[in-house]
Amino acid sequence: MKKTFLAILFALVSNLCFSQSDQVLIENCIQNYIEGTSYNKPDHISKAFYSEANLFLSHKEKPLWIVPISEYVSWYEKGNKGVFNGRLGRIISIESYNDIAVAKAEILIPEKKQEFMDMFLLKKIQGEWKIISKSASSKTSNKSGKKILFIVSNAHYYGNSTISTGNSFAEIVNAYDTFVNSGYTVDFVSPKGGAIPLAYINTSDSLQKQYVYNRDFMYALEHTVKPEEIDYTMYKAVHYIGGGSAMYDVPENSAIQRIAMQVYEDNNGIISSVCHGTAGIVNLKTKNGKFLVEGKKISGYPDSFEKQDGEYFKHFPFLIQKTIEERGGHFKFSKKNEAYVEQDGRIITGQNFQSSNGVALKIIEWIEKNN
- The two most distant CA atoms of the chain are separated, in Å, by 71
Contact 350, 356 (CB under 8 A): yes
pLDDT, position 276: 98
319/339 Cα distance (integer angstroms): 21
Q: What is the DSSP string of 67-110?
A: EEHHHHHHHTTSS-TTS--S-EEEEEEEEEETTEEEEEEEEEEG
Position 351 pLDDT exceeds 80: yes
Residues 174, 357 contacting (CB under 8 angstroms):
yes
Report d(CA 244, CA 294) in Å as an integer: 24
Residue 72 backbone zone (phi > 0: left; psi -120 to 50: alpha; other: beta): alpha
Q: In whole angstroms, what is the distance from residue 205 CA to residue 39 CA? A: 43
What value does the mean pLDDT take over residues 131-148?
Answer: 97
| pLDDT at 369 > cutoff 70 | yes
* Alpha-carbon gap, residue 279 to 250, rounded angstroms: 8
pLDDT-derived band at 139 (thresholds 50, 70, 90) equals very high
Cα separation of the two ends of the chain: 65
Which pLDDT score is estimated for 18? 43
**Averaged over 249-258, what is the pLDDT?**
98
pLDDT at 60: 85
As a whole number of Å, the CA-based R_g of the chain is 23
Tens-place pLDDT, residues 29-76: 999 999 999 999 999 999 999 999 999 998 888 899 999 999 999 999
| pLDDT over 70 at 165, yes or no | yes
**What mean pLDDT do residues 257-282 have?**
98
Neighbours of 41 (CB within 10 A): 20
List, as one string, the DSSP characters of 248-297.
SSSTT-HHHHHHHHIIIIIS--EEEEEGGGGGGGTT-B-TTS-BTTTT-E
Q: Which of 113, 90, 114 has its CA nearest to residue 103?
A: 90
Q: What percent of the chain has pLDDT over 90?
A: 92
In the prediction, which pLDDT does 2 show?
A: 42
Q: How far apart are CA 32 and CA 63, in angstroms?
A: 29
Average pLDDT for the chain: 94
- Percent of the chain whose predicted confidence (pLDDT) is above 70: 95
Helix (H) or strand (E) holding 349: strand 347-350
Q: Are 267 and 235 in contact (CB under 8 A)?
A: yes
In the predicted model, is pLDDT for residue 149 greater than 70? Answer: yes
Q: Give yes or no for a contact between 344 and 189, defined as CB atoms under 8 angstroms apart.
A: no
Q: How confident is the model at residue 237 (pLDDT cuts 50, 70, 90)?
A: very high
Q: Is the pLDDT of residue 14 over 90?
A: no
> Above 90 in pLDDT, residue 94?
yes
Average pLDDT (162-190) is: 98
Q: What is the pLDDT of residue 1?
A: 42
Report the alpha-carbon distance of residue 180 to residue 183 in Å, rounded: 5
Among candidate residues 33, 355, 13, the one with its CA nearest the CA of residue 168 = 355
Cβ(300)–Cβ(322) below 8 Å: no
Question: Residues 108-133: pLDDT tens digits?
Answer: 999 999 999 999 999 999 999 999 99
pLDDT higher than threshold 90 for residue 19: no
Reported as half-sphere exposure (CB side, CA atoms, 13 A), residue 133 has a value of 8
